[in-house]
Amino acid sequence: LGWYTYVLNEETFSFEIKENGQIIKHIVKDEKIPSIETKATDKTDGTKEMHTSKSVTIQDKVEYKDLQVGKEYTLKGKLMNKETNKPLVVNGKEVTAETKFTPKEANGSITLDCTFDATGLEEKEVVVFEELLKDGKVVTTHADINDKGQTVKFVKPSVKTTATNKADGSKELDISKSVTIQDKVEYKDLIAGKEYVVKGKLMDKATNKPLLVDGKEVTVESKFTAKEKNGSITLDFTFNASALQGKEVVVFEELYQDNILVAIHAEIEDKGQTVKFKEVKPEQPKPEQQNSDKNTPTPEQPNEQVKEQPQPKQEIQSKIGWLPQTGTNLTSWISMVAGALLLIVGGVIFLKRKNA
């Protein structure tokens, strides 16, 4: 074995030679150099991606080799900001952890937990550096800023929603005792395999407050497990909208993982999240048909013939005698004139015969 596989022992050993030719043995025990390898994960589920929150725990599993059985060791861990290759500082302090242990075997493993406030670390990568000490001296380290095994990443999930009338996919709804708004929630950068809860609430755009129907808020929630980091899910809001004429309603959505809010979409002016209930116009009364002539046929009497109403005969005196009033039937007037002429002619003939 090469010298680099052993621990250099600087202790001085002395011995005395009393007789020439005498063979003296001095035994020094070889001690191999210990080594460690680490793997950092989210303690909750063992994944390499994490959501940010006020309290998260990165668990680092440290596998060691060639330790001295029965000797006490100290394992110290420190979180590093991969982007800067400097210690991660949270609230003005470095994030560190340590533990002591006595190995029962030369090879084995131990875990080290780093719990801290990860608020604001979205899209950051954190690397765990480890060092192993014995008797206060460092015997080995594992500190590679580019080691994927030592690295975890904080994701930044996002959601975007589109609300529509479920019946036809439009952005308008009729007022009714039962309507359904369907909200399509598109998510990005979730952690595959984790369970999430999406919670939706309807908002009154005019007041920017929760919509109340029969005195209650209109809410819906659904659980799902993300199969991929990007995808979508739909939520249906069914409720009584009979009193919502002309109102605009906005859907707010929140995404939770392990009861921790990880993403939200709540913009009262977002047209994608908004639907509108139609205005109901009052019916205008139809004007009644006014007939100037009672004899004019109406639609209800299409086949009825118009009959001329008899006009009262009024005669007026003129210089030539009595004449019928204007408007008297022309035929009657001609008949009267002809009759008068016949009487005159007949009288003349009668007088001539009498004189003869």
Which regions in the chain score pLDDT beneath 70?
Answer: 1-31, 283-333, 348, 350-356
- Find tokens 């309603």 and name the residue: 249
Q: Set out the domains of the chain in order of their start, with CATH numbers.
A: 32-154 (2.60.40.3930), 158-277 (2.60.40.3930)
Give dist(CA 121, CA 112) in Å, integer: 21
The per-residue pLDDT for range 232-270, each reduced to its tens digit, is: 999 999 999 999 999 999 999 999 999 999 999 999 999
Bridging pattern class, strands 274-277 and 172-173:
parallel
The per-residue pLDDT for range 101-156, each reduced to its tens digit, is: 999 999 999 999 999 999 999 999 999 999 999 999 999 999 999 999 999 999 99
- The confidence score (pLDDT) of residue 253 equals 97
Report CA-CA distances (Å) from 272 to 8, 86, 220, 224, 230.
69, 43, 18, 23, 19
Give dist(CA 253, CA 233) in Å, integer: 12
**Nearest C-alpha neighbor of 239 from the set 255, 229, 251:** 251
- The confidence score (pLDDT) of residue 252 equals 97
- The confidence score (pLDDT) of residue 344 equals 77
**Nearest C-alpha neighbor of 82 from the set 141, 130, 146:** 146
Burial letters 167-196, b for 16+ CB under 10 A, else e: eeeeeebebeeebebbbebebebbbeebeb
- The confidence score (pLDDT) of residue 286 equals 67
* C-beta of residue 110 within 8 angstroms of C-beta of residue 67: no
- The confidence score (pLDDT) of residue 319 equals 42
* C-beta of residue 240 within 8 angstroms of C-beta of residue 178: yes
